[in-house]
Amino acid sequence: MAASSSGISAKQDLISQLDKIGALAEAELQSSGNSEAIEKVRVGFLGKKGKLSEVLRGLKDVDPKDRPAVGAKANEWKARLEGIIESRKSEFGSQELLSKIQSERIDISLPSREQHRGGLHPLTQTTLEIVRAFARLGFDVTTGPEIDTEFLTFDAINIPKDHPARDMQDTFFVGPGLVLRTHTSPVQMRTLLAKKWPVRILAPGAVYRCDNDATHSPMFHQIEGLWVDRGVKMSDLRGVLDFFAKEIFGSKTKVRMRPSYFPFVEPGAEIDVSCFRCVKTIDSHCPVCKGSGWVEILGAGMVHPHLFEVAGYDPAEVTGFAFGLGIERITMLLYQIPDLRLMFQGDMRFLKQFS
């Protein structure tokens, strides 16, 4: 009888404690003023170290046959309290959301923040303009490797081994018979060797020479053009360059050709354009033409017969012309940039002017 009486006492004692704790938790939940207070009550009563869990540790003193009744009471309070917690959290969540919306309302009448947008580098912009101009005349863009053979870079275009351009001071040698190309002419030779005429290509790309000052860089960019077909004449070259100059520098631009020497063309010419800044009268202080009225922009000429022989063409059957211009040179002229090195320093203050 004593054991049974003790078991009943332990059972009733635990149930009584559960009722008291549950009622206390319910009262605190009903009086809580926000979500944080609700969470604090939940942890304090239903958490692993909460008051409800502490009471249930006394189950070891209850007769095994009475434990289900105590467990049922504990689950009853747990479910009841969780229901209240869920309801109160939902209530406070709606209130807090409404309060947040009212306090953090966005004034849509205010101007938006300015977004930074990238832009094309001035050299890229100039390259695209040049390509677009020649594309209207049927020129296709062709590219090639920046490390090329001495043969294609020099020998094939009529620059023998004793030519100054092959001196170590001008050319970067990267291995036996290999150089960083000093011009994009190897692309022209690769094209002539790979296909039969007619050929009408542009060869843009980076080139490398041992120069470094305000108007020269060890790495710079060129575009070379080549037109090979039956009956191509010097007058065709003049017409193409005249069209190009007007497209890039303006419709009133004039072209002047001066005799010059290049090993890969014969005859060769330096090409000048009339100063696009001194349109009406020549300014003796003009920063573009230095008061001469003319600006040198490129070199050109009729393709030397030696190049046709190397490529397997018959010089008696076809003729052609070639030209080459520095993209940095054109960019500096168009935007009046005083120092070529500005285009390679990555200074955002400089680059933003072109975006």
Select from 126, 195, 183 the least CA-distant residue to 158: 183
Q: Where are the alpha helices (DSSP H) in 104-163?
A: 122-135, 150-153
For the chain, the straight-line distance linking the first and the last C-alpha, in angstroms and rounded, comes to: 96
Q: Which two tokens stand for residue 254?
A: 């004039």
* Cα(168)–Cα(172) distance, integer angstroms: 7
| pLDDT tens digit sequence for 201-253 | 999 999 998 876 666 778 899 999 999 999 999 999 999 999 999 999 888 88
Domains along the sequence of the chain with CATH:
2-103 (no CATH), 122-354 (3.30.930.10)
- Residue 338's pLDDT is 81
pTM of the model: 0.64
Q: Which two tokens stand for residue 89?
A: 């959290």
| Sheet architecture: strand order including 147-149 | 147-149, 178-180, 173-175
- Residue 149's pLDDT is 93
- Residue 4's pLDDT is 43
Residue ranges of the chain whose pLDDT lies below 50: 1-7
Q: How far is CA 85 from CA 27, 45, 149, 352, in A?
A: 12, 11, 80, 57
* Cα(353)–Cα(120) distance, integer angstroms: 11
* Cα(325)–Cα(28) distance, integer angstroms: 85
Q: Which two tokens stand for residue 12?
A: 């009733």
- Residue 280's pLDDT is 66
- Residue 302's pLDDT is 96
* Cα(247)–Cα(346) distance, integer angstroms: 29
* Cα(212)–Cα(205) distance, integer angstroms: 19
| pLDDT tens digit sequence for 87-132 | 877 877 777 777 777 777 777 777 777 777 788 999 999 999 999 9
Select from 343, 307, 342 the least CA-distant residue to 322: 307
- Residue 1's pLDDT is 36
Phi, psi of 162 (to 5 degrees): -90, 10
Q: Which H or E run includes 242?
A: helix 234-249
* Cα(72)–Cα(70) distance, integer angstroms: 5
- Residue 169's pLDDT is 62
- Residue 267's pLDDT is 94
Select from 149, 246, 135 the least CA-distant residue to 189: 149
- Residue 91's pLDDT is 78
Question: What is the DSSP annotation of 25-74?
Answer: HHHHHHH--SHHHHHHHHHHHHSTTSHHHHHHGGGGGS-GGGHHHHHHHH
